[in-house]
Structure formats: C-alpha cells, structure tokens
Amino acid sequence: MKFHTKALAIGALLVLAAPGAAYANTVSVTVRTPGATLGPSAVDSSVSTSAHCTSGLVSGGGIDQAIGTGTGVNGNHVLGTEPSSDGSTEYTGTTGVVGTDVAYWIAKGGSGGQLNSSFSTTPYAMCLTSNLINHTQVVMNKVNAPTTATTVGLVTATCPANTALLGGGALVTPGNTGNFKAIASFPTFNNSAHDYGQKAAADGETNPDSWSAVGWDNSTNASNETYAYAICSGNGINVSGVTVKVRFGEASGPSTGSTGQNTTASCGSGDGNLVSGGAAVSGGNVTTTDFTGPGSAGDHLNGSFPSDSSGNPVGNGTTTAASWTAFAHSGGTGSTSTHSDVWALCANDGV
C-alpha cells in the first residue's frame, strides 16, 4: 500500500505541474525610438521618420507628436504609423502579404493650414523576441476612401489562416492636402460579430485576426487612399498555444476646441506582455457599433505610443512597457460627441 500511495502522490504532483508549463511565456519586447524629428515646417506638408529594431522583428509601432502652444496646435496630425522594409519605403502597392521579418517602423506627421515651430514626430518600434514566433509577415489592404468630406474611410487587413495577429498600423495618402488624416488604427476580427472589421475588438477579447484603419477628411478628394497593415506571425509556426489579449479603453472627449486628451490601456497580470497597441478619435461605442467619425471634421490623432500607466511615452531601450496611450485632439472646434479610444495587445506564446 505504501508503494501505491507514493506513486499516486507523485502522479498527482505531475498532473498539478503540467498546467503550469502551458502558461510559460517567452515573448519580450524592447522599445526602440531615435527621438523626435522636427516638422512639418510648411503648410500642407509632411515629415517621415522611423525607428529600427536592430535585433528582433517589429510586432507593432507607434507615433507621438509635439504640437506646441497657441493657435498652431491644431495643425499637426497623424498621417501614418506603419511598418517598413527599410525605414523610408511605404507599402502602398498590391494588396496581400507585402513584407516578411520587417524591422522598421515609420511615423508620419502632416500639417494643415496652421504651423508651430514646436511641431515634431517621434517614432516607436516594438521589437519582438520569442522562442516560438521567430518570423513575421505584413498584410496590407487599401481602399479609395473617404472621397467625401466627413465620411469614414475604413479598411481592414486580415492575417492568413493559422497565424497570430501581433499588431498593425495605418496610412493615408496623399499627405499634402492638409485636411486628410488617419484617425483610427485598431485590432478587430474578420467575422460577422465585428461586422468584418467595422467594429473594434473589445476589452478582454482574445486572438483578434485583423487590423482596421480609418481615414478622415474635412474636404472632398477623389484621390484619397486609406491603408491598413496587419503584423502577423510567419507561416508554418504552430500558434495554437498563443494567446493575444486585448485591453481597451474609451473616454468622452476632447470636447473643447484646440485641446488634446490622453487615454491609456494597460496589460494586466496574466495577460502576457505588451507587443503593440492602437488608437482612435471617434464617435464612440467603437466595440459595439460600426465605427463612426468624431464630432468635428477637424478632430485628429497626435499619438499612439507605448507608455507608462500614466500615459507618459517610454524611452529608447525600455523592456518593461505594459501600457499604450492614445493622444486625441479636437482641432479648432469642440464637440460633445467626440471620443478617445485606445487598445493594448498583450501576448503570451505559451512556450
């Protein structure tokens, strides 16, 4: 009997130990940023700058813009936060898988009719390492929209089957019209419950498979193009044990003209490590209804970046970032129906 009792005890220990192994996580991210690039310095112009993952692959990236003070604060806005093969080339050609093992992230800022000498744009690259996810791919989709003023131009990029979404980005072109901007970049699902990318992933949802981007213009332009980028794990990797959890937050505002607002979401205990994030300025309720534009034609984003829990951007080389912040701005006109939205993606590779 003693022998059997001991065997059962050992067996019980083995059974208890096994689930713990399933929750191991080798995902880690180092944030890379070269600091701020001044500009734009001319009306209706743009500035592009990039961050580089010298080791690892981008799982996502971000942008933070300085806007200064005075009337010029309304002029700076986000045109793009996007993956790149070399830090300057943009994926704007044929849709589908456009890149593999990408190591650069572009932040692109644009000016309207107002300028400020303090304008600058700072890029952030989220540099991924994982014992499992050692290759990535970029999927791009685009739409010729919005072509009418104050209408939503939304497009969704979806990861290939049997891969994991890690992050994503957005771009709008042309970048020299002054009124056109990217107002949303967020995780979603290519299913009916999310209206195939029209509704964003909600707080606590797991394993989104798509990324949506939204362009917004307060004038009419037939040549407007909006691009969405999904950063996905490489083909041939068994991601059945991977969990990517979404953390989401929405706040009313900014509601007063010429003001900005930060909104932050954070990875919690057991969620996994921060790998990317997204941001939007919207009409609200973005996880329960199809995306609607914000309350004012001039509303825009000035940031979507890795941060501390108080919304302060992290520095170059940070390995402990657990939060993501959206910086939304009202432009010159206030509205009570404008909302700020933020997403943090937290990954566990189960290795």
Residue-wise pLDDT for 23-49, tens only, equals 689 999 999 999 999 999 999 999 999
Q: What is the mean pLDDT of residues 67-74?
A: 91
Strands (E), 189-311: 210-217, 225-233, 243-252, 260-266, 273-282, 300-307
Q: What is the mean pLDDT of residues 62-78?
A: 94
Q: What is the mean pLDDT of residues 74-92?
A: 97
Per-residue pLDDT band for 255 (boundaries 50, 70, 90) equals very high
Q: Compute the distance between CA of residue 208 and CA of residue 228 in angstroms, rounded to an integer.
A: 15
- The gap from C-alpha 311 to its chain's centroid, in whole angstroms, comes to 15
Residue-wise pLDDT for 297-323, tens only, equals 999 999 999 999 999 999 999 999 999
pLDDT for 23 = 60
Alpha carbon distance, N-terminus to C-terminus of the chain: 38
| Amino acid letter, residue 249 | G
- Of 7-21, 69-83, 84-98, 120-134, the poorest mean pLDDT is in 7-21
Percent of the chain clearing pLDDT 70 (strictly above): 93
Q: What is the mean pLDDT of residues 114-123?
A: 95
- Are the beta carbons of 331 and 302 closer than 8 angstroms? no
Distances (CA, A) of 33 to 124, 175, 221, 317: 5, 23, 34, 8
Residue-wise pLDDT for 17-28, tens only, equals 344 444 689 999
Q: What is the mean pLDDT of residues 117-145?
A: 98
Q: Compute the distance between CA of residue 303 and CA of residue 324 in angstroms, rounded to an integer.
A: 10
Q: Compute the distance between CA of residue 7 and CA of residue 225 in angstroms, rounded to an integer.
A: 67
pLDDT for 108 = 98
pLDDT for 11 = 38
Residue-wise pLDDT for 167-212, tens only, equals 999 999 999 988 999 999 999 999 999 999 999 999 999 999 999 9
- Of 2-6, 176-180, 277-281, 328-332, the poorest mean pLDDT is in 2-6
Q: What is the mean pLDDT of residues 243-255?
A: 98
pTM value surpassing 0.85: yes
Q: What is the mean pLDDT of residues 104-115?
A: 95
Unique residue bearing structure tokens 């520095």: 315
Per-residue pLDDT band for 71 (boundaries 50, 70, 90) equals confident
Strand partners, 262: 327
Mean pLDDT of the chain: 93
